[in-house]
């Protein structure tokens, strides 16, 4: 598994680093890897959560809401690494959880013994595919310059 610095992650995703720093400073970006000695180490699923965050921000979601959704997704991908789709469920009583979509039946509007307020399905497979495409395009940049003399 490849690990990326914040600089590499931002270059890969086409993310403005100053804007990212501002978003992180709001305290609503729990999906971002923790800083260790001033460095953040990004893995593929961290990049996928950041990509979702960026998509949501472009669609007009606030930093707080986009960060909350991306954080819930990142937590869910850690708990269910093989899931192709994940559903982020919020119950009427405010309880929240995430499960692989294939394991969830919301046909009657109830789950876990209570009514569902909202359920957001995220196709993690497609997010990961987008990251793979970005990585393929980025590969020449990572190793670039060795043959140039």
Is the pTM value of this prediction over 0.75? Answer: yes
| pLDDT number for residue 112 | 81
In this structure, what token pair is assigned to residue 113?
């013994």
Query: CB within 8 A of 10, min separation 6: which ones?
Result: 16, 17, 20
Query: CB within 8 A of 77, min separation 6: which ones?
Result: 45, 48, 49, 83, 86, 124
Model confidence at 22: pLDDT above 60: yes
Q: What is the pLDDT of residues 65-122, one digit of tens each?
A: 999 999 999 999 999 999 999 999 999 999 999 999 999 998 899 988 899 999 999 9
Beta bridge partners of 110: 115
| pLDDT number for residue 142 | 52
H/E stretch holding 26? none
């Amino acid at each position: 598994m490849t690990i990326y610095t914040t600089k590499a992650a931002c270059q890969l995703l086409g993310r403005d680093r100053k804007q990212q720093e501002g978003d992180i400073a709001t305290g609503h970006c729990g999906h971002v890897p923790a800083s260790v000695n001033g460095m953040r180490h990004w893995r593929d699923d961290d990049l996928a959560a950041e990509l979702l965050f960026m998509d949501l921000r472009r669609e007009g979601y606030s930093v707080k809401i986009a960060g909350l959704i991306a954080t819930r997704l990142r937590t869910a991908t850690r708990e269910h690494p093989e899931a192709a789709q994940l559903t982020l469920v919020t119950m009427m009583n405010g309880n929240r959880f995430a499960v692989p979509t294939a394991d969830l039946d919301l046909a009657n509007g109830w789950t876990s013994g209570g009514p569902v307020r909202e359920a957001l399905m995220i196709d993690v497979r497609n997010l990961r595919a987008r990251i793979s495409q970005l990585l393929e395009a980025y590969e020449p940049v990572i190793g670039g310059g060795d043959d140039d003399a």
